[in-house]
Structure formats: structure tokens, C-alpha cells
Amino acid sequence: MILKFAQHKSSPFLIGAMLFLGCLILAFISQNLLLMAMPFGLLAIVFFLTDLRIPFYLLMFSLPLSFNLMGMIGVGLDFPDEPLMLTMTAIFPFFILTQNRSTGFIDTLKHPLILLILFSFVWTIISVVFSLDPIFSTKFLVKKIWYLVPFLFFPLLLFQDRALMIRAWKLILICLCILTLIILYRFSKVGFRFEEVHDPLQPFFMNHVMYGGMVSICVPLAMAGLWLNKRFSINWWMVLAAISILLLGVYFSYSRAAWAGVIFAAIALVLIRFKLMPWAMLGFYAVVLSAVLWLSNHNQYLNYKPNFEKTVMHESLEDHIMATIQGTDISSAERYYRWIAALRMSEDHPLTGVGPNNFYDQYKAYTITSFKTWVSRNPERSTTHNYFLFMLVEQGYPAMILYAALIFAIFFYGQRLYHRLEHRTAKVIVMASLTCIASVFVNNFFSELLETDKIGSIFFLCIAALVLTDLQQKKYPSKGIA
């Protein structure tokens, strides 16, 4: 595996000075000060090309720390991770054109999991072509590219080095644990009150769902450290401390999806050990499909409309939980409002949907007034709060089916791989990846977190780990995988 792409000599000082001066003049003429950063960006690309591990490690560590610059400079850019993602995407074509034979990258694209992702991407292109607003949808497509390249395609190359893979997980976990401690400290200043959960997370997380989601999906990755380190060693105790910090973060995120994510990850571990996970997923799909068909039959769902006066935002955790059980919680009621609108939209646009990024501009006409809640004005421009429906309404039935097939295939191939492996480290990595994806699945069932840098990144990193472990096991079946 070649990690060092090229060894470049320093550019002549005169060329660098002229480049900087040219960008400086352009910045003042166009009044776009961001152009001043261009020479540094080009210099960074040249530096990163000398060793691809450098930008990748920086990206891993920056994921928990990223925040949006919209409120600061008026640019909707996640910093510092998105510039690194763009840089790695720019580097990737040059690397593949010159190093494909030594990396075997094309062979990895033939794996069933990668093929499903590629089919989904192709369908996204088709849905953009038929979008109600193609220009707006194209932005989604472009952003999808710089998610897939640094978090799936680059790891398919770099994770061939098992030590590098583990180091990447460590960088994410170390940064996330430090950030969680800071958030817990800030939250303690307001007494861990449920109604104060938003401010301590800023600016690193948009809301408590995003925060809880990232922390909960990283718990299985931290748990893997208990099996990868000698029991009662210093590293083992550090891992145990990290797990405790993350679990505290999950609890005090007050996100029900995050709580469910940790629980389902534990359940998935047991199901995988007993070779039941694919059957459990088929059963889940059958239950959800049956519920949708039953509720839609003769408009049964109209019998479950919420009481507008009772669906309120609760100011204590106890009231929030009781409202969830009684079905009077405002966030749950608002989800019903969006879900019904999404299903009604799919009737008019079943094949290619309304187009990526177009749900918000189209869904109001499909809502039912009797399901309206206090927060239905939706000033934050959020979408369906369910990834299956998100794919259905924006990209049609084929996209939703491909996503469902991908999740099933992950657990089908992953479970089979786990029981085929003999090497302890490889088994731990596969189980950690599968249980992490199980937690992502639950969090994503109640949101669209797969399209965010903090959640979607880890989802694709886990898939890359599974694919490479599978390919290596097939290549060296009798030797095990170190």
C-alpha cells in the first residue's frame, strides 16, 4: 500500500510570491477576502500530497470540533472539516490515476456494499435531472461527492493499513471525549436542566439530537477498545473512562433517539453473535410496512390526530418522557405531521421524488391541518425526520429501497464476515463497525443525520472497514488478519 503519493520540491519563492500577490489583488477587486486564502489552500494541497495520512488524520480529529461559519462570515461552510474534505476530494483523482495499480482500488468497487452505494449515487443523479428545482438539487449532489470521497473512497485505500484504521478511530474518540467533557461542564453550570440543553452545545452541534447522535454512535467504537487492550492496563482504564464520558454525554443529551441508539447497538451485538441480525432487520421492515399499510387503509391515521392544545414543549425531562409515552410530546406530533405530508407527496412523485433539497419548499401544500402543532412553522427548515421518508419524498421509491437494501446488506455480509473470521482484532473491528451502524440506523430513523458531516462520516468509515476486512479475509483465508 502506497501512502506517500509524491515527494515535491518547494516551489520557487518568486512563483509563490506572484501567486499570493495575484490573489491579493483579486480579493480587493472582487471584495471577496476568501480569495486571499487560495495560495495557502494550494500550498496545503501540495503539502498533503506528500503524505495522504496528514489530511486524513486532521479530518478525523476535526469532525467533532466542526462548526458552521454561516453566522460568522455569511458562508454555509462547516469548519475546519469541510475545507479538508474538499482538499481530499481534489487530491483523489490525481492519486487514483497514478496509483490505482498499486492500491487495487478498482477491485474494492466491486464489493456488493460499495455497488449498492454507487447505485444509490447514480439514482441521486437521475433524481437531480428530474428535480422540481435542478439547480438547488445539484448542490446536494456536489456535497454528496465530497462526503463519499474522504469518508468512503479514501478509507478504502488507507484502511488497508489496520494500524491506521485504529488510529483514525482514536483521533475521533479523543476529540469527542474532550468536547463532551467541556459540554458536560458547561451544562452543569445550568444544573443539567432539560430546557437548557441547547446553549452548552454551541457552536459545535446544531442541536441536542445531533450531539446525542454522534456520541451514541461512538460508544460501540469506544467499547471495542476494551477488547483491543490488555485488561486492567493503563490503556484499558483510559478506554473505560472514555466510555463513561460518552455514556454520560448520551444521557445528558436528552435525545430519545440517542438513548435508543445505544440500546439497539447492544441488542445488535447479541443478535449478530447468534446469527439473527438479518432476520431481525427483515422483521423490522415487515412491521413498519404493515403499520404504514394499516394506517393508510381507509385513512385510519386520521383517528390518531394529536390534540393541538396538549402537544406542547415540556420544560422538564420527566414531563418530556411522560408525554412521549402518552403520545402528547410536541416533537413526536410534529413528526407525524411531516411523515403524513411526505407520504402524500410520494403519491404525486413516486419514481424520482421532488428532487434532493426540495422537501421544505414543497411539503406545506401536502400537510393536513388537523395534525398541525405549535412548531409547524418550521423556521429552521428541517425536513422529514425519518431517513426512509426523506429518500422517498426527495428521490422516489428506488432511492428508499436502495437504502433499505444497503442496511440489510451491511448486516447480512457483516454478520457472515464476523463468524468467518478467526483473528481477534479483525472480529472486534467488524463487531464495532456493525454495532456503530446499528446505532446510526436508529438515530437516522428519526432524523436525516446521514447527510451530516458528524454522523454520515462515521457511517461510511464503518462501511469501508467492513469492506476491506471482508476483501482481506477472502484474499488470505488461512492466515487470519493481523
pLDDT tens-digit readout, 22-70: 666 666 666 665 665 666 666 666 666 677 788 899 999 999 999 887 6
Q: Residues 145, 180: contact at Cβ < 8 Å? A: no
Q: Are strands 78-79 and 67-68 parallel, antiparallel or unpaired?
A: antiparallel
Distance between CA atoms of residues 462 and 156, nearest Å? 10
Q: Which residues of the chain have pLDDT under 70?
A: 1-49, 70-76, 99-102, 298, 304-332, 373-376, 379, 478-482
Q: Express each pLDDT in 266-288 by its tens digit.
A: 999 999 999 999 999 999 999 99
Cβ-Cβ contacts under 8 Å for 159 (sequence gap 6 or more): 165, 168, 464, 465, 468
The count of residues in the chain is 482
Distance between CA atoms of residues 331 and 385, nearest Å? 10
**427 Cα distance to chain centroid:** 23
Flag whether the pTM goes above 0.85: yes
Q: What is the DSSP string of 210-222?
A: HHHHHHHHHHHHH
Q: Is the dihedral of CA 194, 195, 196, 197 positive or negative?
A: positive
Distances (CA, A) of 33 to 16, 23, 170: 18, 9, 36
Distance between CA atoms of residues 117 and 112, nearest Å? 9
Residue 245 C-alpha cell reads as: 464520558
Residue 63 C-alpha cell reads as: 469532525
**Torsion of Cα atoms, 188 then 191 then 197 then 203, to 10°:** -40
pLDDT at 340: 87
Preceding omega of 12 cis (within 30 degrees of 0) = no
Distance between CA atoms of residues 410 and 193, nearest Å? 38
Residue 321 C-alpha cell reads as: 418522557
pLDDT at 8: 43
pLDDT at 83: 85
pLDDT at 6: 40
pLDDT at 101: 65
**21 Cα distance to chain centroid:** 39
**Torsion of Cα atoms, 224 then 225 then 228 then 233, to 10°:** -150
Distance between CA atoms of residues 224 and 242, nearest Å? 11
pLDDT at 106: 82
Q: Is the dihedral of CA 420, 421, 426, 428 positive or negative?
A: positive
